[in-house]
Amino acid sequence: MKRKVIRSSLLLLVLFSPFVIWRLWLWYNLNNQLAAIRADGLPTNAKELDRWYPAVPANQNAALVLTQAISGCDLKSGGKTIWDFKLPARGKKLSSAQADLLRRQIELDTTALAKADEAIRLSASRYPIDFSMGFNTALPHLAYLKRFAVLHQVKAALDIEAGEFANASTNIDSMLGLARTLDSEPCLISQLVRLMIIRIAVTTLERRIGSGPIDGLEVTNLVAAFEQTPEATSQLVKALIGERAMVASLFSMNKEDAVRMLELAKNKEEEQNFPRHRALPLRVAGFYDLDEGFFLYAMGRGIELVEGSWNMRAANYLMKAGEKAQERYYLASSQTLSAYGASIPRQIEGDALTRLAITALAVEQFRNQKGHLPETLEMLEPEFLADIREDPFDGEPLRYRRLAKGYVLYSVGGDREDNHGKEMPEPKASPIKKGYDVTFTVER
């Protein structure tokens, strides 16, 4: 009997030792990955992320003053007026009814806007939010920043129609100031809101230039404002690091963290799903460790590619990694990696818009001094533009084409096909706009 037990034990040991060795290797590899991230001074969970989001002295913190502006603003005031309003197409004016309605809306938020303008004159920003809550972090300031940006756009439109061009340019500067308060925020949703505000600013500049000559002081101030806008690479790295930390928290979550970081489950099925619950067979089999290891590796590689300015390569890599995770039924990886990859072209488009705006201002400076438009962008160098900006999508110089009246500056966009400055009639949510370019058109 004793020999039978020994033989059975040895047999089990032989049979299960490869599995035990594999599980130990899996545990060792996962902990090495986390240790390497920490060794680089980067966060590996939501609590570390909150500490990594840099603190700012109160007397320099634009976000604290903006919080005061937010407290004096009611998002519901004016109903859907400000949220759903679209300015008339380029070259068309507001109706008198539209102008009156917008003026009333601005009056409702005059005090809040004045406080917001005071805030953006400060040098740094750290919103009073708690990233240790992970994906349940409350970000109430994002909706208000969008509202303030749209109000500035409306004010600029009214200023343009009143011939008060310098005031319109000041409003564009204010929009860019609002966007800058999100520069250090380490999550993708904040960076996408930042990009949306930049887009509003560039669209407003397009409207401003198309309405009449822009003087030297306006050009100087606006170029300085756009030059302060960080490039997508730095913002993407920051956001992907933050997203990696928040997803990694889901794997190391204890019951206390689950109660703190997750909303109450809506039903029993949700209560039994990851990350609230981990099935014992899957835990023993190492399924969750495989998911986390795959996620950490893919995100690390994606961040490396972005740091090397291979942004579109990073986008493609993360989207393909997400597809592979889906094939393997990895829960967290399949739900996040593709979405992160798809967000990258949108961030790159922010760079394109900023570079188009700066180039357009140089074209207008040339027109002011020479009395006519340049035939090519090379004519701007070096007096009006130190060097022609690259299209961030393909590395070639930004394109410029004269129109019967005016000109179009453009980037080839996410599909990296030159569509000769073809403008998309309506914005699309898709990160890659096939058949269209990213344009800045002046019909004057």
**Confidence at residue 123, expressed as pLDDT on a 0 to 100 scale:** 87
Residue 429 has pLDDT above 80, yes or no: no
The pLDDT tens digits of the residues spanning 235-274 come to 999 999 999 999 999 998 887 888 888 887 788 877 778 8
180 φ/ψ angles, rounded to the nearest 5 degrees = -65, -25
Bigger pLDDT: 275 vs 116:
116
Residue 79 has pLDDT above 90, yes or no: no
Section 414-418 average pLDDT: 90
Residue 10 has pLDDT above 60, yes or no: no
Average pLDDT, the chain: 90
Bigger pLDDT: 154 vs 9:
154
- What percent of the chain shows pLDDT beyond 90? 70
Tokens matching residue 6: 């020994």
The pLDDT tens digits of the residues spanning 177-233 come to 999 999 999 999 999 999 999 999 999 999 999 999 999 999 999 999 999 999 889
Is the separation of the CB atoms in 341 and 316 below 8 Å?
Answer: yes
Residue 367 has pLDDT above 80, yes or no: yes
Q: Which of 34-48, 75-89, 262-276 has the highest mean pLDDT?
A: 34-48
**Confidence at residue 433, expressed as pLDDT on a 0 to 100 scale:** 66
Strand partners for 61: 124
Indicate the pTM of the whole model. 0.91
**Confidence at residue 78, expressed as pLDDT on a 0 to 100 scale:** 60
**Confidence at residue 75, expressed as pLDDT on a 0 to 100 scale:** 74
**Confidence at residue 101, expressed as pLDDT on a 0 to 100 scale:** 85
